[in-house]
Amino acid sequence: MLSLDEAKTEIRHLEFVEAPEVNPDLQRSFHQLLRKIGPGRMMETVYDTAWVARLGELDESLSQQALKWIAERQLPDGSWGVSSPAYYHDRIVSTLSAMIALAKHGRRASDRRRMERGKWALEALAKRTPQGLMNNPHGATVGFEMIVPTLLAEAEALGIIQHQGDGILNQLASQRAIKLSKLQGHKINRFLSMAFSAEMFGPDMAHLLDIENLQEANGSVACNPSATAYFALHVCPGNEAALNYLHQVTCEGGAPNAAPFDVFEPAWVLWNLGLTGLLDDQLLADCQPHLDFLEAAWKPGVGVGFAAGYTPKDGDDTGLAYDVLTQFGRSVDFEAVRSYEEESYFRCYPLEGSPSVSNNVHILGALRQSGLEASHPSVQKVLRFLCQAKTAGTFWFDKWHASPYYASSHTVIAAAGYAPELVKDTIDWMLATQDAKGAWGYYIPTAEETAYCLQALVIWKRHGGEVPADALRRGAAWLAEHAELPYAPMWIAKCVYCPELIVRSVVLSALMLTAQE
C-alpha cells in the first residue's frame, strides 16, 4: 500500500481542491461511502429470489424465507419486478419466475390468490409484447432470449399460462437456438460468461454444462444466485457448496442479482469521486485500500471482471478499472485493455450477441488515460463505432443500463476536450430534455439520471463548452432534494436492479461538481 505522500506524488490528472470550497457534508458523506464499499451492496431481486424459493425439497429454510419475500412484493397489477420504472423485460422474467416458484411450493390460500392475480398480469403483459419489446430494442435483460423460452415451457407445463403458439415470446426460441449454435460443441463452464445464465438450460439440458468446471471457488455458479440455485436443484442436486453460498448471500429471504461484485463497486465509486478532483488527505487515504484491492484483482493480459472471484474478465470493468488505477497512480498493463480489441470495436465478452456502447466508452477513457492521441487508430475505431451507434444522431442506449443518460453522460466525459465533435449534439439533447423542475429522466425524473447529466455538463464546461448556469443551478437544487436512498432501479442484468452505493457515489459526485461552479 502506498503511503499518503507517495499517493499524492503518483496520482495523475486529478486536481486537488481545498475542502472549504465544497459543502463539508458532501465530503463527509463520501468518506462514509468509501468506508462502506466492499463485497458490494446490491438490492435483492424477484427473479433471483424466486429461483432460491424453488429449493423446498433441498433446503426448507431458504425456500420458505424466499417465498415469503416474494409474496410481500407482488405489485398492485398482479405482476412482479421493479415497481418504477415499469420495465417490460424485467416484469416478464420476474413474474414468470415468481409464478413458477409459487406454483411449485406455495401452500397457503393467499399464495393461490396471488397466483390468480399473477395469471391476469401475465396475460396483460403477453398482449403488449410487441410494444414492450420494441420500446427499447437495445434494452433486453441479460439472456432474455435464452431464459424466457425455458420459463415459458415450465409455466405452460404447470398450467400457469396457455400454450403461446407462434407468439412473439415463443419466437425467442429461434434466437436461443442460434446463440447456442455458437458454442460449436463446447460445454458451458466458469470460463464463459454464459454460465451467468446457466438456468436457461432448464431441467432437461444440463448435458450442455461442464459440471466439473462450473462452480467458482465460493460455491456459486458465476457469482449469481439464480444460476447457483438452478445448479443445486437440477445439475448437482443438494450441492453443499452451492447451498452454503446461497445462505451467505440472501438477506431476510431476498437474493441479489450478483454477489460479490467487489471490483465493480469500488471501481465505479472511485471513478465518480475522481471526476470531482476534491481529494483531501482523508479521502485519499480512504481510497488506498480499495485501490490495493483493484490492483491485486488485476490479471496481466486480461484485466478484471465484476468480482475478483469471478473467472471471466471483461472489457467494461477492465477499461474503467484501468482508467481509475492509472488516474490514482497505480501501474497496470495496458495490454490487458488492448486484448479486447476487435476489427471494428472493443468487445465486452467473447460470444456476446451485440457490442456494448458503455464498454467502448470506458475503453475510450482508458485509451485516453494511457496517453494515446485522439488520432490513434484504436481511438478512431472506438469513435467510429460510437458515432454509428448513436440514436437519432444525438444520444446512446446501452445494454447494461435502462437509461440513455448513463451511456450518453459517460461518453461526454470521455470525449470532452478529446473528441468533442462526437458529443456536441448530445449536450444540446441533455439541455433540451431537462424538465421544468430541473430534473432529468427517460421514464420518470430520477436522482441517478439527473446526477449523470450534471456530471457531464460540468465536465463539458470545464473543457470550454457552453452550459447555461441556470441549468446547473436548477439541476443541483432538484438533486439535493432527492439525493437519498432509495433510488429507482435502472441497471440491467437478468432483471433490473440498483447497485445502491454506486448510484450514491454518482449523486455525491454531481453535487460536489456543481458546488464548484
124 and 245 co-located in one domain: yes
The pLDDT value given to residue 13: 52
In 3D space, the residue among 135, 131, 125 whose CA is nearest the CA of residue 93 turns out to be 125
In 3D space, the residue among 209, 205, 203 whose CA is nearest the CA of residue 186 turns out to be 209
pTM of the model: 0.93
In 3D space, the residue among 370, 285, 262 whose CA is nearest the CA of residue 325 turns out to be 370
Burial of 248 (0-12, 13-18, 19+ CB in 10 A): middle
Spatial distance between the Cα atoms of 185 and 384, rounded to a whole number of angstroms: 34
- Summarised one tens digit per residue, pLDDT across range 246-299 is 999 999 999 999 999 999 999 999 999 999 988 888 999 999 999 999 999 999
65 and 144 co-located in one domain: yes
Give the count of beta carbons closer than 10 Å to the beta carbon of residue 73: 17
237 and 183 co-located in one domain: yes
Cell of 477: 437544487
97 and 244 co-located in one domain: yes
202 and 275 co-located in one domain: no
Cell of 503: 448510484
Q: Identify the CATH number of the domain in which residue 169 sits.
A: 1.50.10.160
196 and 334 co-located in one domain: no
75 and 186 co-located in one domain: yes
**Total domain count, the chain:** 2
Spatial distance between the Cα atoms of 54 and 46, rounded to a whole number of angstroms: 13
Burial of 244 (0-12, 13-18, 19+ CB in 10 A): middle
Domain around 237: 45-255
The pLDDT value given to residue 4: 53
306 and 251 co-located in one domain: no
158 and 274 co-located in one domain: no
26 and 146 co-located in one domain: no
Helices (H), 390-468: 404-415, 424-433, 447-462
According to DSSP, the β-strands at 496-497 and 491-492 are: antiparallel
How big is the chain, counted in residues? Answer: 517
- Summarised one tens digit per residue, pLDDT across range 362-392 is 999 999 999 999 999 999 999 999 999 999 9
3-state secondary structure of 244: helix
Q: Walk along the chain (517 residues) in steps of 10 and give the mean pLDDT of each run.
A: 57 49 83 93 95 96 96 96 92 95 88 91 77 58 87 89 61 71 81 94 88 97 98 97 98 96 98 92 94 98 98 98 97 98 96 91 98 98 98 94 97 98 98 98 97 98 97 98 96 96 98 94
Cis peptide bond N-terminal to 260, omega within 30 = yes
The pLDDT value given to residue 176: 73
63 and 141 co-located in one domain: yes
What H or E segment, with its residue span, contains residue 29?
A: helix 24-36
242 and 275 co-located in one domain: no
Contact 55, 63 (CB under 8 A): yes
